[in-house]
Chains A and B, each alone.
Chain A
């Protein structure tokens, strides 16, 4: 993985010193809250319901064992013994004290991590497919490009005060696991007929109060033009994006209000000006960055598979785990493992310091020192030898991390919601927990099959409810929590925004309603292989409406 060079190390440690001084000045009274707030936000520090919250960037969701151990150490030393992995592939600590944050940032800098640009109206942490560099269906590893974008966008002076935040996601596979079409810029790496690398470029996707699917603006952007074209998009957005209303300030609104063709022409005109300038990426630079992401030396052997098969035959729990949490790897004899942070009845995305350390140990021992965070709030060991899966599974089971539910009904995305978040209007986590408990039986989950439930505790949609096969949005109505259900959303290569099925449900009713939706699907599917989304797209919302509200 990428290692900081001298420049990276210097600027991150300089930033820690700068923030330490800003905190000192705030506590000494030299800065008011109005002056300090944008400074703390630039360093990932929010003030939430119960305490400050620190959001730490995990670039494109990739980290190593040393970094994971450091996160565990921070959780234990400065927080309450756990962290929350988010849909942005970041981690949030829910209880840090302001006075400790400079020390926490110094600890992070020692392991090449920081919280810069995890908040504010700037280019946020670039996200990527969590199976990058490993997936069997991948055309190329998107992480070198994500890293190039990270370097370009870090402290970019022109783009530090954008109209609103800006999110970029990259995938290198035709099956989109990075939700690129619901990002401000979505990039899908492709090869042309001659084998040249380039990107399909989507602009103006996003969730929040105005969900929109990104529009294709380039069928093939040559890799050399990645930065110049991105800069052209950002420059057009920075110039024309609305600043009068924060709810209309994202680039998706600009695309919508300007019209795709006119905006594309603006982008192309800007691009024509700068494409042959300093931002043109020489292949030597791409190669230099790509070298950091060179695949490890894979060393599977004949007989590996027999070891795994024998273990599976002897252990039904392992068999269930292998059936759901093992993803095909491009190297023979290898696999990517999903470590579910969705044990039945637990808060989605939460991991204790001890669990983080177990994952770090396993990554080091069996996984070429690599860990990923998925936007679905799980962890991933991208490169494990299939023969080692039984041993890894046993260690995970001991740490209560072996839930065999990847992609199933209990693998729920949920934002922190009203239990923690100052913006939330309703709770998310306990709704996820109750749904998880309702569908706890493994055989029932397997029978239901692939199903993505996503829950947000407010209209800002951190829980991606718009793109859940079943989405749940918590709102406040007359002082009570109410939950609106959407059906038919998806964030893959066939992205769609879910549709509201009807009136909302109370906190007490919502789990029954979800069960009705699921049971209705199971009753109407043509075959057990027809998944929820396919069935919904075939039959529409009518049967679900009838099940939920009756025919009247």
Chain B
């Protein structure tokens, strides 16, 4: 299972390609890519969003289900999804879910 992530061009915010095709600021809203077709479609959407100057350098990440919740496999992506582990008051972990881009 994968998702497509990037940073938003205008402010650098970490975003994921969302279920409705917009880019969302929380991993919970990410479109889950479970087939090669879904991955290809997402990558095309990423290239389009890059060309439209919405996001920078989109790339795929691996996800797993942990205790019923979606979580990135790599630690780096876990930190991107939440914020600095040393500053719980900063980053996504510090705020409630919002939509984006």
Interfacial residues, chain A to chain B (CB-CB below 8 A): 26-29, 33, 47-52, 80, 95-99, 347, 418-420, 424, 427, 429-430, 433, 476, 479-481
Contacts and interface: CB of A to CB of B under 8 A. Distances in A.
Interface in B28-58: 50, 53, 56-57
What's the dominant secondary structure at chain B's contact region?
loop
Contact of A50 (B9, B10, B14): B14
A96 B13 CA distance: 10
A427 B76 CA distance: 10
A96 B10 CA distance: 10
Interface string B57-77: 100000000000000011110
Interface string B61-101: 00000000000011110011001111100110000000000
B53 A29 contact: yes
A460 B98 CA distance: 36
Given A27-B10, A98-B10, 16 more contacts: A26-B53, A27-B53, A29-B53, A49-B14, A49-B80, A50-B80, A50-B83, A50-B84, A50-B91, A51-B11, A98-B11, A99-B11, A418-B75, A427-B86, A430-B86, A481-B75
B79 A97 contact: no
Contacts of A479: 73-75
A97 B86 contact: no
Interface string B4-23: 00010111111000000000
Contacts of A52: 11-12
A99 B9 CA distance: 9
A140 B53 CA distance: 52
B51 to A, nearest CB: 8
B12 A47 contact: yes
B80 A419 contact: no
Nearest to B11: A97
Contacts of B57: 33, 47
B75 A49 contact: no
Nearest to B78: A418
9 contacts: A28-B53, A47-B12, A47-B57, A51-B14, A97-B10, A98-B10, A99-B11, A419-B79, A427-B86
Interface of B: 7, 9-14, 50, 53, 56-57, 73-76, 79-80, 83-87, 90-91
Nearest to B94: A80
Contacts of A26: 9, 53
Nearest to B56: A33
Given A33-B57, A430-B85, A97 B75 contact: no
A98 B79 CA distance: 21
A97 B12 CA distance: 6
Nearest to B91: A50
Contacts of A476: 75
Nearest to B57: A33
Given A50-B14, A419-B79, A33 B50 contact: yes
B15 to A, nearest CB: 11
Contacts of B12: 47-48, 50-52, 95-98
B86 A347 contact: yes
B73 to A, nearest CB: 7
A374 to B, nearest CB: 22
B58 to A, nearest CB: 11
Contacts of B7: 47, 51
A96 B57 CA distance: 18
Contacts of A430: 85-86
Contacts of A480: 75
Nearest to B53: A29
A414 to B, nearest CB: 10
Nearest to A30: B53
A254 to B, nearest CB: 32
A26 B52 CA distance: 11
A207 B22 CA distance: 43
Contacts of A97: 10-12
Contacts of A427: 85-86
A11 B11 CA distance: 27
Contact of B86 (A33, A50, A96, A429): A429
A56 to B, nearest CB: 17
